Chains A and B, each alone.
Chain A
Amino acid sequence: MSTATLEAPASSNGKKLENLETVVIRFCGDSGDGMQSVGIQMTNASAIFGNDVCTFPDFPAEIRAPAGSLFGVSGYQLCFSNHDIFTPGDDVDTLVAMNPAALKTNIGDLKRGGTLIVNEEEFNKGGLQKALYEANPLDDETLMAKFRVHKVPMTRLNRDAVEGLGLSLKNADLCRNFFALGLVYWLYDRDPKPTEEAVRAKFAKKPDVVEANLRALRAGMNYGFSTESFTVHYHVPPAKLSPGKYRKITGNEAVAMGLAVTAKLSGKTVVFSGYPITPASDILHDLSMFKHFGVKTFQAEDEIAAMASCVGAAFAGELAVTASSGPGICLKGEAMGLGMMTELPMVIIDVQRGGPSTGLPTKTEQSDLLLAMFGRNGESPLPIVAASGPGDCFTMIQEAFRIATEFMCPVIFLSDGYIANGAEPWRIPNVEDLPRLKIDHLATANGENGEYLPYKRNEKLARPWVKPGTKGLEHRIGGLEKKDVTGNIDYSPKNHQHMTNTRAQKVANIANYIPEQTVDGPANGKVLVISWGGTFGAVRTAVQQSQAAGKSVAHTHLRYMNPFPRNLGAILKSYEKVLVPELNCGQLSLLLRNKYLVDAKGYNKVEGKPFLVNELVSVISEFHG
């Protein structure tokens, strides 16, 4: 929204500079067009400038789908604002479409009156055919009349800009994304310096590539400055975030950093075993750079081996962790059960994606909650935590290890494709404020007769953790049912009942050692909206807008999925109606209805995309009545 017209600086070339509060931009093009790359650059530039930012990268599962095809379109949506934002925005203010396929698949999200920037040269016969256009949409006056359209001959202008550097046409065209970025930078008054520095650093060994990209960026900015097509440009002032030092962070980065920090601050080795899988692989990539923190990474031969080696590493006395997504978590089930049965601490990260089966590898979904709850044979409850956003991954991965080591059990950490790849500004914590794990390996026998009793439990029902190599505490454990206290194999009826109850009770007790659930909004009233995981931003924003519109509605967001916080039942009873929006077919609803006998109503969606704020606002409104 336009709030004021500023005095135009010299860079405006006499054009109007208007102030805006919030802008949503989407870059889209072929998966080889570098859309993710420019999206990240603009995110960094905006974050460094001081805006709040929130991003939504959306790319196909195919690495290089046929050029120009509809299914090969890759997009990066970025919202930046002068105030706190929790989502990447519903409707797009400015859409940059590098080809007809990108236009076709994205134009529906562009606001009426929004800005459309297209590389018009790609709207040729071949490009239109690949996008299954019968006629050139740029000639469709009815359609174009809805937007402010800028048809830019980007290919030619970019080639002109990099001329003389000796680049092949193919390589020259690879810089078109930076031309488009430059144009958007002019349009939104962005300082190109952070981007220029990033390009210089990234291609330090390829000076011609640096020069080409910088020239393309400048040419794009100059194009906006000089052509009459653009009569106005915009400024989004910095946001008033809590004071502190900030950086940008994605969920996967935060997990990797959280693990490195856990290793360092606890003085333990983190043994990470993983098998490549979208969207979890970046955790393995990032961690493999952190060896000097005491992190060992192991790319296992399969998901089963990744999980099994975690059990081995945990038995050997170090902090074991694996990361995967739904299909991999299915394969890990049996070995997770072994971890549960041997009562060893480890963390299993599930970066959820669209399922079932191979499903939608690059799209987000929250449909593994019940898999995490019940996806093992036998009675095998495990604690589950879920991060609410990219930065929260840093906090919750450390929390997962706290629970695992304090209670001696595997803990499942749920993330999703949206928060794993999405970025937000993150206030850098003080090192002194970070939690330290208190790990106490038993060093002397705990039995009355000087023997070691592997299943003698403490007040939390946790058994001791002995590091192999410790003299006198040699012992054998395994997946067979064992006798309480001694850990010897025991199949007797009463013992199995007792051990099953004990393992369940141990997990249930964790509720006494996690924070109570809090509510945003009135402590009682008509509607409670309850959410979990990566939908936090959209739900919080929608509830706040509904509150502002006078609705009696409160929001509570779960980060502890098993056990639930101890006061959750009381909270649920304080409202007339309970609404549970989830990116699945009603998994949290099912758990709530079962445990609290509450008539929780789901709002469920599995389209591979996060919720839009507007959609939730109308759902809440309708539900509220």
Chain B
Amino acid sequence: MSVDLPTLPTPTLQSKDFASDQEVRWCPRCGDYSILAQMKKVLPTLGIPKEKFCFVSGIGCSSRFPYYVNTYGLHSIHGRAPAVATGVKLANPELQVWVITGDGDALSIGGNHFLHAIRRNIDMKIILFNNQIYGLTKGQYSPTSPLGQKSKSTPYGSIDHPLTPLSVAIGAEATFVARSVDVDIKHLTMVLERAAHHKGTAFVEVYQDCNVFNQGAFSYATEKETRSDSIVYLEHGKPLIFGKNREKGVRVAEGNRVEIVQLGGDVKEDDLLFHDEKTPEPSLAFLLSRMRHPEFPEPMGIFRAVERSTYDESVTKQVEAARAKLGEGSVEKLLNSGDTWFVN
């Protein structure tokens, strides 16, 4: 759902207005730089004064993010950012709240808060920087690392079956789910913009390259030679077509699955799967989230964007309803409620 955001009477903000005075300390060529840059590009376009933004993060490389954005920001503890952000939003619903997290932060130590923020549909944006590795602790495998991945803690290869973040979010009935990749600047900007305008929990997974501990984990999705065969862009109301010459498509097959087909010949565009991000039932989005490299091209874009009442809005409504029904709370009445008696 799109929200009408207020137009500012003040001069329009620019990207540089959102730069903080802190030196950015990520490793050179870290994918985080690009995400930060796109974020600073998107924020001034939203028509929201910068004092109305609050960035909340957990622990990990990505979680340093709030220090580099000149808004209100809280660098919290490992895994708890969605819970901290819930408190921020409950106390101060006027703020636009962004949660910056990573694959270990959101899906391992913070899995519970991640699920519950999403199911409540609290109005916050959760941006998960997925690099399939623990970077800040120097290279252990994460809950999104593929089977067999060798890391400091898995010298013989990982035997942990990985989670697919989007499937988890959709399973928790997220109202907005999207994926992009750090170096695809235009696409990332578009996705962040869409997330910003969504009312409710907007979950965005960004494939992010950790060039120190897991370099090239997503090269299939970023390199020119492989990209067009490895990803498929989702566009609402349009068929899923990919390939260097847009010669391949995705079709729904029997047995609740999808298949790749060659266009031309018997297969027409109309036979393909048409994306519908607004369908209330999350099954289509879930099916798309199951398309994993290398069997399938991985979808990029908005998987799902539906409307549902937000938790913070319901909290406010209940408070208003209680006031309408019972009147403004009276201390005098409260203290004297129940059975009372006098002692002379």
Contact = CB atoms under 8 A, between A and B. Distances in A.
B75 A478 contact: yes
B254 interface: no
Contacts of A273: 87
In the complex, which of the residues B71, B73, B95, B335 has the most CB atoms of chain A within 10 Å of its own CB atom?
Answer: B335
B61 to A, nearest CB: 14
Contacts of B332: 431
Interface residues of A, number: 76
A65 interface: no
A479 B340 CA distance: 48
B167 to A, nearest CB: 20
Interface string B123-146: 000000000000000000000000
Contacts of A47: 339, 341
A308 B87 contact: yes
B73 A298 contact: no
Given A305-B112, A312-B84, A313-B90, A261 B343 contact: no
B74 A305 contact: no
Contacts of B323: 291-292
Chain A CB within 10 A, most for which of B80, B85, B315, B327: B80
Contact of A44 (B112, B115, B339): B339
A257 B341 contact: no
B219 interface: no
A357 interface: no
A317 interface: yes
B84 A434 contact: no
B319 A296 contact: yes
Contacts of A318: 91-92
Interface string A464-505: 000111111111111110000000110000000000000000
A550 interface: no
A54 B144 CA distance: 58
A469 B87 contact: no
B98 interface: no
A476 B51 contact: no
Given A271-B91, A474-B71, A305 B116 contact: yes
Contact of B54 (A238, A290, A300, A316): A316
B67 interface: yes
Contact of A292 (B52, B66, B327): B327
B37 interface: no
A293 B51 contact: no
Interface in B134-161: none
Interface string A211-255: 000000000000000000000000000111111111110000000
B54 A428 contact: no
B331 interface: yes
Interface string B325-336: 111110110111
Contacts of B329: 260, 264, 290, 292-294
Contact of B76 (A50, A311, A320): A311
A50 B341 contact: yes
A189 interface: no
Nearest to A256: B334
Contacts of A294: 319, 329
A265 interface: yes
Given A293-B334, A313-B88, A308 B77 contact: yes
B335 A431 contact: yes
Contacts of A269: 91
Nearest to B337: A247
Contacts of A489: 67
A246 B342 CA distance: 6
Interface residues of B, number: 61
A467 B343 contact: no
Given A246-B342, A290-B329, A308 B76 contact: yes
A309 interface: yes
A330 interface: no
Interface in A43-64: 44, 47-50
A298 B337 CA distance: 24
Interface string B58-82: 0000000011011111111100100
B56 interface: yes
A309 B319 contact: no
Contacts of B15: none
A194 B91 CA distance: 41
A48 B342 CA distance: 8
A315 interface: yes
A304 B88 contact: no
A164 interface: no
A296 B90 contact: yes
A247 B88 contact: no
Contact of A300 (B83, B338, B340): B83
B80 A335 contact: yes
Given A290-B334, A478-B66, 7 more contacts: A260-B331, A269-B91, A294-B329, A298-B87, A314-B87, A335-B80, A478-B73
The 5 closest A-B pairs by CB, nearest first: A312-B87, A478-B75, A309-B87, A293-B329, A476-B73
12 contacts: A246-B343, A257-B334, A261-B335, A264-B329, A301-B83, A305-B116, A312-B76, A312-B86, A314-B87, A335-B77, A468-B51, A480-B75
